Chains A and B, each alone.
Chain A
Amino acid sequence: MRALGPGSVSSFLKIILDVVYVALVAGVIGAALLALAALLFAFNPSLLANVKISDGAQFVERAPLVVGGLLAAGFYMVSVLLIIGALRRIFTTLTAGDPFHPDNVNRLRLVGLMLAVLELGRYAVWGISAWLPWVRDVRPSFSLTAWFSVLVVFVLAEVFREGARLRREAELTI
C-alpha cells in the first residue's frame, strides 16, 4: 500500500479531512447563529414571549453563560478548523507526491501553534469555570501529552523545512 501519491493512504486521509472540514464549517456557522440568538434574547427577553423554550426565565438568567459557552465552542471549532484546513492542504501536497513543498513548513507551524492555543484555551476555560459560583467539580489538569505533541509538530516543521531546502538544492542540481 502506497503512502504518497494519487490513490494512496494520504489521498484516503485527505477525503476524511475534507468531510471533517465541511462538518466543522457547518458547526462554526451553527455556533455563531446560536450565540447571536442567545445574545438577542439576553438583550431583549421580551422576544422569548414569541418563542417556546422550557424554563425560559432560567435561560435569560444564564444567557451570558450560554453566550460564553457558545463563544468558547466557536473558538474551539475555529481552532480545530484551522488545524484541519492546514492538514488538508498538507495532504493535498502528499497526494500530489510532493511532501516537501515549501508551504508545508508554515502549515505545520500553524498546526503546532493552534494545538498550543487550544491547550491554553483549555486552561482559560478551567480558570473561568472555577471562578463561576454555579459551576462545581472543576478539576484542572496539566497535559504533558498535549505539550509533547506541540513540540513534536514544531520539530516536524523544521524537518520539513530541511526537506524543502534539500528539494530546492536537488532542483538546482543539473
Chain B
Amino acid sequence: MPIRVSLDRILIDRRMSLTELADRVGVTIANLSILKTGKARAVRFSTLAALCRELDCQPGDLLVYEPGPAEELDEGED
C-alpha cells in the first residue's frame, strides 16, 4: 500500500501513548495498531476526524503517499 500512516511520529511529537489516543478517539488499541503498522485497508472519515481532533493535526500530517511498485489490490493482499 503506497499510503503510509505516520501515527508513530505524531504520537512521539505529542508525547501521547497509543492507549491514551485509543481512549480519546474511541477506537480499540488493536485497531489503532493495525493503522499504525500500515495494515489498514481504509480509514473512515469519522476516525480520521477524531484522530485529527485529538492529535491537533491535519489529515495530510497523518497520511503520506509514497509511490512504490504497483500492487495488486486483490483479496489475497493483506
Contact = CB atoms under 8 A, between A and B. Distances in A.
Interface string B17-44: 0000000000100011011000111111
B39 A168 contact: no
Contacts of B75: 161, 165, 168
Interface in A134-168: 161, 165, 168
In the complex, which range does the number of interface residues on chain A fall in? Answer: under 10
Contacts of A168: 75
Majority-rule SS of A interface residues? helix
A169 interface: yes
Contacts of A46: none
Contacts of B41: 169, 172-173
B47 interface: yes
Contacts of A172: 34, 39-42
Given A165-B75, A168-B75, A173 B43 contact: yes
A148 to B, nearest CB: 28
Contacts of B43: 173-174
B70 to A, nearest CB: 20
Contacts of B47: 174
B24 to A, nearest CB: 15
Interface of B: 27, 31-32, 34-35, 39-44, 47, 75
Given A161-B75, A172-B39, 7 more contacts: A165-B75, A169-B42, A172-B34, A173-B40, A173-B42, A174-B31, A174-B40
